[in-house]
Chains A and B, each alone.
Chain A
């Protein structure tokens, strides 16, 4: 039975949203700007009116106000209370619910330890960095023993590397505290790292709700496929472990080398912008480098998609209009392509 259920929800851009989130599940809401992601969080939190029904653990909560819903909410701008120090920010929800002093003290210390912010105790929000604010805001959101946590773009203010570590840490914390979480994200890669399931939202409609690998390898519609970047899906026939921590996967005559993580690979997804295209033979090792022939040119606004036939298989590549003009590409022209090794995603 779902822990949170949205039935026929309508509000602003949202059109008839039906969504179920299971107990202790991490669900990522992914979609372009203006698709209604944050509105869904506001509806679950009870911060905005709506048409339709919201159920928590089978109980209709339409008439339950925000302060009685027991849902933690991490806003995109974090909104730490500027007049309270770190401890008072975290303790706010516990104090307002009149928990005994001892429980408040222990809970605050526990969360500060879990989020590595104990040293920030007496600081005010204005004295914290973006990452530190993020941690304090998460501690504050879950402090009053919330079982549901809503997070709006929790890594948007962090650099790519910090964001990656933060996502892993956040997932561990959510699982350890057995919290059901709904996370709004705009990038699919980040969502894949943290979520058990991903819901793709487009113009107020849910296009697909699936496990991360299913979204990638089995996009439910053209819109989903377009949103996730029209990846080239390659089904593998054979795998051969190489001696140097690499594995070679073969699909027809195409052989691609990937890092070997101890499991066999059945499918690979390659995003078109992760395939370099060149009209001259590139220097360096020939790893994942292939020769092919342009079969189709699809001009977009500032980009050009080029289909290249490589060893009897059609691969979609993407390059800037400037680069396209520079190389003077046309159908029938012979080109070289290189697949970026680091950005490959695959299914076992």
Chain B
């Protein structure tokens, strides 16, 4: 067997693995229950809450991630290596540990003051957004930095000799050239935020109709041994995720200038 055949076979095995897992859900699929569940106020609340919190967390991540990624990609400054390393923190420690860290922070004097004088994060929707934001920020920076590293700095230098300020060069050259990478990073960040569970449940808890995102709803249904209900929610999550990824793929293909 050639290397080509082995590698193709292995790539198919990945498809079979994920596809098989999704297909196996249909063993417990109940059409009547699916319609009832999806129409229920509680499910609709979970979907709405997940979409809104993931979108806000993604936007907040991007606002910080784009300039941070640019700084890490283009400039060398004291602490560069340290920042570059700490980006992986959400990936190397468990989301529950990350959530616990945030919870502990809000129990120290500064955290308590922040909650009393500012925003209440623990056991609120703000907590969900914060958990999603903290778990996705590092990944967003890492992905956008990778996209910006691909763009030679010479393009910006030429733009500057043509009269563009560094800011204008960034918006007219670097941003358009890395838009595909930024879009891909946004989608992955959003998908990661949508599926975030460990940190969210630690900070915001699992209160129905209050902090129940789709992953938390899945957990709660499973905890009550409601397999059919769990299947419905997992299918909703899979459907949202796959349609967004597919949509983005179409979008990036169409917006390509060449």
Interface residues of A (CB under 8 A from B): 45-47, 65-73, 75, 77, 79, 81-84, 92-93, 96-97, 124, 126-127, 140-141, 143-144
On whether the beta carbons of B161 and A67 are closer than 8 Å, the reply is: yes
On whether the beta carbons of A83 and B176 are closer than 8 Å, the reply is: yes
Measured CB to CB, the closest approach of chain B to A313, in angstroms, equals: 51
CA distance A100 to B164 in the complex (A): 17
Interface residues of B (CB under 8 A from A): 152, 154-155, 157-166, 168-169, 172-173, 176-177, 257-258
6 A-B Cβ contacts within 8 A? A45-B161, A73-B161, A82-B257, A96-B172, A124-B257, A141-B162
On whether the beta carbons of B161 and A69 are closer than 8 Å, the reply is: yes
Chain B residues lying within 8 Å of A73, measured Cβ to Cβ, are 157-158, 161
On whether the beta carbons of A92 and B162 are closer than 8 Å, the reply is: yes
Chain A residues lying within 8 Å of B166, measured Cβ to Cβ, are 67
Measured CB to CB, the closest approach of chain B to A310, in angstroms, equals: 51
Measured CB to CB, the closest approach of chain A to B254, in angstroms, equals: 15
On whether the beta carbons of B164 and A67 are closer than 8 Å, the reply is: yes
CA distance A16 to B169 in the complex (A): 32
User: Taking A77-B154, A79-B154, A126-B258 as contacts, is the C-beta distance between A96 and B159 under 8 angstroms?
Assistant: yes
CA distance A144 to B158 in the complex (A): 13
Q: Please pick, from B152, B164, B168, B172, the residue contacting A79 in the complex, using a CB distance under 8 A.
A: B152
CA distance A14 to B114 in the complex (A): 55
Q: Please pick, from A67, A77, A79, the residue contacting B163 in the complex, using a CB distance under 8 A.
A: A67
Measured CB to CB, the closest approach of chain B to A217, in angstroms, equals: 36
Measured CB to CB, the closest approach of chain A to B240, in angstroms, equals: 31
* Chain B residue with Cβ nearest A92: B162
Chain A residues lying within 8 Å of B157, measured Cβ to Cβ, are 45, 47, 66, 73, 75, 79
Chain B residues lying within 8 Å of A69, measured Cβ to Cβ, are 161
On whether the beta carbons of A71 and B164 are closer than 8 Å, the reply is: no
User: Taking A75-B154, A79-B154, A124-B257 as contacts, is the C-beta distance between A96 and B161 under 8 angstroms?
Assistant: no
Chain B residues lying within 8 Å of A77, measured Cβ to Cβ, are 152, 154
CA distance A140 to B154 in the complex (A): 15
Q: Closest 6 CB pairs between A and B?
A: A93-B162, A66-B160, A73-B161, A79-B154, A97-B163, A96-B164
User: Taking A66-B160, A92-B159, A92-B162 as contacts, is the C-beta distance between A81 and B173 under 8 angstroms?
Assistant: yes
Measured CB to CB, the closest approach of chain B to A121, in angstroms, equals: 15
Chain A residues lying within 8 Å of B257, measured Cβ to Cβ, are 82-84, 124
Chain A residues lying within 8 Å of B173, measured Cβ to Cβ, are 81
Measured CB to CB, the closest approach of chain A to B228, in angstroms, equals: 50
User: Taking A79-B154, A83-B257 as contacts, is the C-beta distance between A47 and B176 under 8 angstroms?
Assistant: no
* Chain A residue with Cβ nearest B164: A96
Interface centre among B163, B176, B177 (most CB of A within 10 A): B163
CA distance A140 to B161 in the complex (A): 11
User: Taking A77-B154, A79-B155 as contacts, is the C-beta distance between A96 and B162 under 8 angstroms?
Assistant: yes
Q: Please pick, from A67, A75, A93, the residue contacting B165 in the complex, using a CB distance under 8 A.
A: A67
CA distance A81 to B162 in the complex (A): 12
Measured CB to CB, the closest approach of chain A to B150, in angstroms, equals: 11
Chain B residues lying within 8 Å of A67, measured Cβ to Cβ, are 160-166, 168-169
CA distance A141 to B164 in the complex (A): 13
Chain B residues lying within 8 Å of A96, measured Cβ to Cβ, are 159, 162-164, 168, 172
Chain A residues lying within 8 Å of B164, measured Cβ to Cβ, are 67, 92-93, 96
Chain A residues lying within 8 Å of B169, measured Cβ to Cβ, are 67
Measured CB to CB, the closest approach of chain A to B171, in angstroms, equals: 11
On whether the beta carbons of A124 and B258 are closer than 8 Å, the reply is: yes
CA distance A144 to B164 in the complex (A): 11
CA distance A36 to B142 in the complex (A): 35
CA distance A69 to B152 in the complex (A): 22
On whether the beta carbons of B155 and A81 are closer than 8 Å, the reply is: yes
Measured CB to CB, the closest approach of chain B to A148, in angstroms, equals: 10
Chain B residues lying within 8 Å of A140, measured Cβ to Cβ, are 158, 162
CA distance A140 to B159 in the complex (A): 10
Chain A residues lying within 8 Å of B154, measured Cβ to Cβ, are 75, 77, 79
Chain A residues lying within 8 Å of B258, measured Cβ to Cβ, are 82, 124, 126-127
CA distance A167 to B16 in the complex (A): 61
Measured CB to CB, the closest approach of chain A to B174, in angstroms, equals: 11
Measured CB to CB, the closest approach of chain A to B175, in angstroms, equals: 10
Name 6 extra pairs, CB < 8 A, besides A65-B160, A67-B160, A140-B158: A46-B160, A67-B161, A75-B154, A79-B157, A83-B177, A97-B163
Q: Please pick, from A71, A81, A82, A84, the residue contacting B161 in the complex, using a CB distance under 8 A.
A: A71
